[in-house]
Amino acid sequence: MSASFLIGWIKDNIKRQEGQAMAEYGIILALIAAVVIALLVTLGTDIKAALNTLVTQL
């Protein structure tokens, strides 16, 4: 699959209602991914410490 084919496919789908819904789902998915990444970066050390404590207790 070439990049020009992919770009053409995206342009065709964005013009249609179904394509618009797909683009909206893509935006929502990107926002959810950004929030998850931000949470993991922020809470990463706390999660690591909790898992280390759990492993030590086992």
Name, in order, each residue with C-beta under 8 angstroms of 23's C-beta and a sequence gap of 6 or more: 13, 14
pLDDT of residue 25: 87
Euclidean distance between CA atoms 20 and 41, whole angstroms: 32
Count of domains forming the chain: 1
Per-residue pLDDT tens listing for the chain (58 residues) = 577 777 787 777 666 666 667 778 889 999 999 999 998 888 888 888 888 999 998 8
What pLDDT does 11 receive?
A: 75
Whole-model pTM: value is: 0.51
User: Which residue range is the domain that position 28 belongs to?
Assistant: 3-57
